[in-house]
Amino acid sequence: MPLGYNGRASSVVCGTERIHRPSGIIRSPKDLTTSFGPSKEMDYEAELGFFVSQSLPMGKTIAADEAKDYIFGFVVLNDWSARDVQFTEMTPLGPFNGKGFATSISPWVTTLDALEGARCAPSGLDLRGGGSTLAPHLRHGDENPTWNLEFEVSVFSEFSCRTH
């Protein structure tokens, strides 16, 4: 199935900036009619974003063991979703306008060096020495290949989500 997922640098904003409610085509779940209007089903996803500290030639893949040489730091990231618009767009093209209207990042960057004390062995899938992955760039030999991080996300100063 074709998939369109657009994004643009102009939609990345500091986490303190207000996000506009996008309009789009929305399908009624009751009678499957469509209308154009503002999204009524906005949500966000608590994620981490990475800042890369050096250039990487187009088409080159970084192996997991090389990641520390390329990551400058982390930001809390949220790619906002207009779920009602997104679900209408999913077939046949995928999430287009329902996902490409805003991405928020924290107003600070936590450097990789600052997170050194949070390094730990993975709690789930262990890819040291290759594990069971079929993707060679995910295999690694590092004893502490990941980080144990906890962060919270809130909207309008109300607690919304905690992850770790």
- Residue 97, CB-side half-sphere exposure with 13 Å CA sphere: 15
> Of all residues in the chain, what percent carry a pLDDT higher than 70?
71
Instruction: Please report which helix (H) or strand (E) contains residue 43, including its range.
Output: strand 42-43
Q: Where are the alpha helices (DSSP H) in the chain?
A: 83-93
> Confidence class of residue 9 from pLDDT cuts 50, 70 and 90?
confident
How far is residue 143's CA from residue 124's CA, in Å, rounded to a whole number? 14
Whether 144 and 119 have beta carbons less than 8 Å apart is answered as: yes
Which of 85-89, 113-117, 118-122, 159-163 is least confident? 159-163
- The fold adopted by the segment(s) 9-15+41-54+62-163 is Fumarylacetoacetate hydrolase; domain 2 (3.90.850)
**Residue 113 predicted with pLDDT over 90:** no
Give me the amino acid identity at 135. Answer: A
Say how far apart CA 98 and CA 39 lie, in whole Å.
Answer: 9
Domain boundaries, the chain: 9-15+41-54+62-163
Which residues does 22 contact at the CB level (< 8 Å), separation at least 6?
A: 38, 39, 82, 85, 97, 98, 101, 102
Phi and psi torsions of 70, nearest 5° = -115, -20
Task: Tell me the pTM.
Answer: 0.71
Query: What pLDDT digit, counting tens, does each position of 35-51 carry?
Result: 999 999 988 777 888 88
Band (151; pLDDT cuts 50, 70, 90) = confident
Q: What is the mean pLDDT of the chain?
A: 78
